[in-house]
């Protein structure tokens, strides 16, 4: 089989034509949260697991949520593997759901399993910015981090359009992380590359809510952490009924959800 362009093969599966699990996330080297690269080797069903590869940095500027789905599904439609399930992590849940819907046009609808599914909001996008800047404490002073986070907070208060907010937060990151880059001896070209990569992630978040028709999670199983600022935990208990078909909750922090053997055991059971 020719190499995939828009998917990263995490496990090749068993047999000559294994069923495939499609996993949607925006994975970046060095992030503290576990990813599907951690979950994949814990699963025992013998499925091939393919994870989304984002479009090349810089090409995502004008992409809608549907464009992202088209980018990933082009190879699925071309190859037509049997897709057993679609996984989504956080904002990737919208993409996973819409891809399952599209795949159901030519095969039985894949199972949908969502890990801390989350609707992107300006506050949520700021939260990602806040976290990234906060993780730079080894190269930025507390005052520099605080100032960058304040500027990001002001941006999310004043800009409700997620795409424009993402562009503003990318600009704040580029300017305010400058001292850290200078201390590390990073030139302007590399600074722009770092900022562009972060901006690509923000564009992925913004586009997740632009998919038309907007996907719903009512047929999905949610795997939830105990972190109050992630996933369905952001929704008041009284309003959670009916958001998903079923929810399995774990006493885990969000960052550990995809590396926990207990989570993998439940997922194995769901896929069977």
> How high is the pLDDT of residue 147?
94
pLDDT at residue 238 in the model: 83
* Whether residues 109 and 239 fall in one domain: yes
The total number of structural domains that make up the chain: 2
Is 1 a domain residue?
no
Domain termination site, one of 207, 237, 260: 207
Q: Please state at what angle helix 65-79 crosses helix 92-103, rounded to 10 degrees.
A: 40
Domain C-terminal end among 207, 225, 255: 207
175 and 82, same domain (yes or no): no
What integer pLDDT is reported at residue 133 of this predicted model? 92
Per-residue pLDDT of the chain (272 residues; tens, 9 = 90+): 678 999 999 999 998 889 999 999 998 767 889 999 999 999 999 999 999 999 999 899 889 999 999 999 999 999 999 999 999 999 999 999 999 999 999 999 999 999 999 989 999 999 999 999 998 888 889 999 999 999 999 999 999 999 999 999 999 999 998 888 888 888 888 888 888 999 999 999 999 998 877 788 999 999 999 999 999 999 988 888 889 999 999 999 999 999 999 999 999 999 99
Check whether residue 29 and residue 137 sit in a common domain.
Answer: no
Residues 86, 40, 35, 159: what is their CA dihedral angle, to the nearest 10 degrees? -10
Residue 1: the pLDDT is 60
**Domain assignment of residue 2, yes or no:** no
* 16 found inside a domain: yes
CA gap 26, 93 in Å, rounded: 11
CATH of the domain at 53: 3.40.50.1820
Judge whether 158 lies within some domain.
Answer: yes
Do 55 and 89 fall into the same domain? yes
Question: In degrees, to the nearest 5, what angle opens at C-alpha 236 toward C-alphas 234 and 239?
Answer: 115
> Which pair of tokens denotes residue 136?
């730079």
User: Would residue 252 count as lying in a domain?
Assistant: yes
Rounded (10°) angle between helices 162-176 and 188-207: 160
Same domain, 14 and 112: yes
**Predicted pLDDT of residue 190:** 84
Based on the domain organization, do 18 and 77 belong to the same domain? yes
- Same-domain status, 89 and 131: no
Does residue 128 share a domain with residue 192?
Answer: yes
Say yes or no: 29 and 135 in one domain. Answer: no
Q: What secondary structure, in 3-state letters, does the chain show?
A: CCCCCCEEEEECCCCCCCCEEEEECCCCCCCCCCCHHHHHHHCCCCCEEEEECCCCCCCCCCCCHHHHHHHHHHHHHHHCCCEEEEEEECCHHHHHHHHHHHHCCCCCCCEEEEECCCCCCHHHHHHHHHHHHHCCCCCCCHHHHHHHHHHHHHHHHHCCCHHHHHHHHHHHHHHHCHHHHHHCCCCHHHHHHHHHHHHHHHHHHHHCCCCCCCCCCCCCEEEECCCCCCHHHHCCHHHCCCCCCEEEECCCCHHHHHHCHHHHHHHHHHHC
Q: Let me know: does 234 contact 118? Beta carbons within 8 Å.
A: yes
Q: Please check whether residues 250 and 116 belong to one and the same domain.
A: yes
Same domain, 29 and 160: no
**Residues 129 and 260 occupy one common structural domain:** no
Q: Final residue of a domain: which of 151, 180, 207? A: 207
Domain assignment of residue 20, given as a range: 7-120+213-271
Q: 258: which 2 tokens? A: 């995809």
In this prediction, residue 61 carries a pLDDT of 84
Q: What is the Cα–Cα distance from 152 to 172, expressed in whole angstroms? A: 7
**Pairing of the two strands 246-249 and 83-89:** unpaired
- Is there a domain that residue 21 lies in? yes
């Amino acid at each position: 089989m020719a190499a995939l362009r828009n998917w990263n093969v995490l496990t090749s599966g068993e047999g000559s034509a294994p069923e495939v699990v499609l996993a949607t996330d925006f994975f970046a080297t060095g992030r503290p949260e576990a990813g599907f690269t951690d979950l994949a080797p814990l699963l025992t069903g013998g499925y091939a697991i393919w994870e989304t590869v984002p479009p090349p940095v810089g090409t995502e500027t004008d992409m809608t949520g549907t464009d992202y789905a088209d980018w990933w599904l082009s190879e699925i439609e071309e190859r037509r593997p049997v897709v057993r399930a679609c996984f989504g992590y956080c904002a990737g849940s919208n993409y996973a759901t819409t891809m399952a819907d599209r795949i159901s046009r030519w095969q039985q609808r894949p199972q949908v399993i969502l890990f801390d599914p989350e609707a992107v909001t300006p506050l949520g996008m700021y939260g990602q910015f806040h976290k990234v800047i906060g993780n730079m404490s080894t190269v930025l002073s507390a005052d520099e981090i605080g100032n960058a986070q304040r500027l990001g907070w002001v941006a999310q208060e004043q800009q409700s359009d997620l795409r424009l907010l993402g562009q503003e937060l990318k600009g704040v990151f580029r300017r305010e992380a400058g001292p850290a880059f200078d201390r590390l001896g990073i030139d302007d070209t590399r600074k722009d590359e770092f900022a562009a990569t972060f901006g690509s992630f923000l564009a992925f978040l913004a586009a997740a809510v632009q998919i038309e028709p907007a996907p719903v999670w009512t047929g999905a199983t949610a795997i939830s952490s105990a972190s109050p600022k992630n996933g369905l935990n952001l929704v008041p208990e009284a309003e959670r009924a009916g958001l998903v078909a079923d929810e399995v909750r774990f006493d885990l922090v969000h960052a550990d959800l995809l590396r926990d053997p207990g989570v993998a055991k439940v997922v194995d059971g769901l896929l069977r």
